[in-house]
Amino acid sequence: MADLAMLHPDASPALVLAVVGSSSAPLLLLDGDLNIIAASASFFTTFQIDPTGAVGEPFLSLGDGEWNLPRLRSLLSATLSGAADIDAYEMELKSQRLGGARCLLLNAHLLAYGDGADVRLLLGMLDVTDARANEKLKDDLLREKAILLQEVQHRVANSLQIIASVILQSARKSHSDETRTSLTDAHSRVMSVAALQQQLAASRLGAVALKPYFDQLCVSVGASMIRDHDQLSMHVDCDDSAVDADISVSLGLIVTELVINSLKHAFPGGRHGRITVSYHGHGPNWTLSVADDGVGMPKDPASATPGLGTSIVEALANQLKARVQVVNGHPGTTVSIVHTRIGAVEADAMASRAGQVQVGGS
C-alpha cells in the first residue's frame, strides 16, 4: 500500500488492492460526486499536485482548476450513470504549472462496490504528449519527403521528355536510315521509361496496375513509331493484375522491345495490321504476350540473327524466372513470357547448382 498516496476511510481493502495493483500509472478512485477516495502516488507526481488534503476533495478542483473542464465532467457523469465507459479518450490539459498543454489518454470505468449502494469510478490516465509530438514530427518528415519526392519525379519526367525530344529531332535530321532507325528505337525506349516513371509516381500503394501502365506504354511507343494509326493499331487486353514496381519495370521493358520489334518487322510495305498486348495472371502463374497479325516469322528462322531486342527480352525473362515462347501464327507472330510456380522453382534450383559449380571450380 506504499504506492497509495491518499485513502478515504470508507474505502475497502479490496478497492485499495485494486488501486495499488495499477498504481504504476496515474490512477484515481472517485465516488459518485467525483470526490477523491484514493489516488496513486504517480498521479500526484506526474501532475505536480500536493497530495496533502486531497482525499475527500472534488477531483475537478485539483491543482489550479485545470481539470474543471465541462467536457470531462460530462464524460465522467455519463460513466457514473452507467451510460458509457471512457476508453482511450484523448484530451488536452492546459497547465502553466506543467509547462503548457499536455495530451492525456483517459480511461474511466464504473466499479461494482459492496452491496451496490455505493458508486465508485476508477479513472486512469496516460500522458502521451511526447508520443504525439514524435508522431507529428514523423508526419511532418513524411510530408516533407513526399514533397521532395514529387519534385524529383517532376524533374525526372521533364528530363526524360527533353531527352526523348532531342533523340527524335536527331532521328528526323539524320540522312542515314540505319541511324534514324536506331535513334527512333532509342526514343521509344526512353518514352517507355518515362511512361513507367509516371505510372510509378501515380501509384501510392507500392504496386503498379498493369492495365493503365500498358495502355500508356503503347500510346507512347505508337506516338513515336506509327505514322498512320489507321494503318496500324495497338490494343491492350489485360486483367486487373497489379505487381511490384521492380517487376513492372521488367514487364514494361519487355513490352516495349516486343512492340518495337513488331512495328519494325511485321508490317512491311505499308501493310495494315494490329498489335495486341495481353497479360493474364492467376496466383503465381502469369502470361505476358505481344501478338501481331503481320507477315510472321521468316521461313528459315536460323537465318535470322537475334538482335539487341531479343537479347534484352531473354535477359529480362530470366530475371523474372520465366520462359520465352514464340509461336508463328497464321498470320502473325505471338511472343509470350510465361511464368509458373514450377518454372520458378526449377529456375532457382538451376541457379543454385550453377553457383555451387562456380564456387567449386574457383
pLDDT of residue 277: 97
Query: What span, in angstroms and rounded, lies between the C-alpha atoms of 95 and 63?
Result: 9
Q: What is the pLDDT of residue 302?
A: 58
Query: What confidence score (pLDDT) does residue 356 get?
Result: 57
17-59: pLDDT as tens digits: 455 445 678 888 888 889 888 888 888 888 888 888 888 899 9
Q: What is the structure's pLDDT at 7?
A: 43
Nearest to 121 by CA among 272, 11, 279, 275: 11
Count CB atoms within 10 A of the CB of residue 110. 17
Return the pLDDT at 8: 52
- Give the CA distances from residue 221 to residues 20, 121, 352, in Å, rounded to whole numbers and listed in that order: 73, 71, 38
If we measure between CA atoms, which residue out of 122, 147, 151 comes closest to residue 19?
A: 122
pTM comes to 0.53
* Nine-digit cell string for 25: 500509472
pLDDT in tens, the chain (362 residues): 333 334 455 555 555 545 544 567 888 888 888 988 888 888 888 888 888 888 889 999 888 888 988 888 888 988 888 777 788 888 888 888 888 888 888 888 887 655 555 777 888 888 888 888 888 888 888 888 877 777 776 777 777 777 778 888 888 888 888 888 888 778 777 776 776 666 666 655 567 889 998 998 888 888 877 888 889 999 999 999 999 877 888 898 899 889 988 988 899 988 999 999 999 999 889 999 999 999 988 776 555 566 667 888 898 899 999 999 999 877 899 999 999 988 878 777 776 666 555 545 54
Query: What's the pLDDT at 297?
Result: 82
In the prediction, which pLDDT does 262 show? 92
What does the pLDDT read at residue 241?
A: 93
Give the domains, in start order, of the chain with CATH numbers. Answer: 4-127 (3.30.450.20), 134-361 (3.30.565.10)
Report the candidate in 104, 93, 109, 152 with the shortest Cα–Cα distance to residue 130: 104
Q: What's the pLDDT at 290? A: 96
The contacts of residue 341 (CB under 8 Å, 6+ apart) are 283, 284, 285
Q: CA-CA distance, 89 to 104, in Å (whole number)?
A: 8
